Amino acid sequence: MPFWAPQRKPPDGQLTKDVLLGEGGTGDVFKGRHHRKGVVAVKIANISRDEESFCREVNFLRNFGGHKNIAAFHGAYYSAPLNDCSSELLEIVLEYCGGGSLYDMINSTEGQSLRET
């Protein structure tokens, strides 16, 4: 049982997903806008694949999000997919951290140290 209590998707206009930033095995990440937090990152994942893993991820973000090395957690919302009523999507809303992906940053600085900001 999850320790977090995701809500149903916010009313239209309160959370938008504007630009696809990346796609991965567990979901897609969009740059969007939250009506209170401003520019955010929105991770959309199909939790029917591994609900326990997503519960752990959200609990971790709730507890540690906002640490100087971890994006701030702004909420998690359930939303039913338009084309598949048998599964649920989870939208995790996080602080937007521009500058590209960690993967790209690591590969572009091979053999060099990353400076701390």
pLDDT in tens, 13-49: 788 899 999 887 778 999 999 988 999 999 988 877 7
Determine the Cα–Cα distance for residues 36 and 10; give it in Å rounded to an integer: 12
Buried b (16+ CB within 10 A) or exposed e, 64-76: ebeeeeebbbbbb
- What are the backbone dihedrals phi and psi of residue 109, each rounded to the nearest 5 degrees, phi first? -120, 30
Provide the percentage of residues in the chain whose pLDDT is more than 90.
25
pTM, two decimal places: 0.75
43 known member of a binding site: yes
The CATH number of domain 7-108 is 3.20.20.70: no
Please give the mean pLDDT across all residues of the chain.
Answer: 80
The residue extents of the domains of the chain are 7-108
Confidence tier at 81 by pLDDT (50, 70, 90): low
Determine the Cα–Cα distance for residues 41 and 16; give it in Å rounded to an integer: 10
Alpha helices (H) in the chain, listed in sequence order: 51-64, 102-108
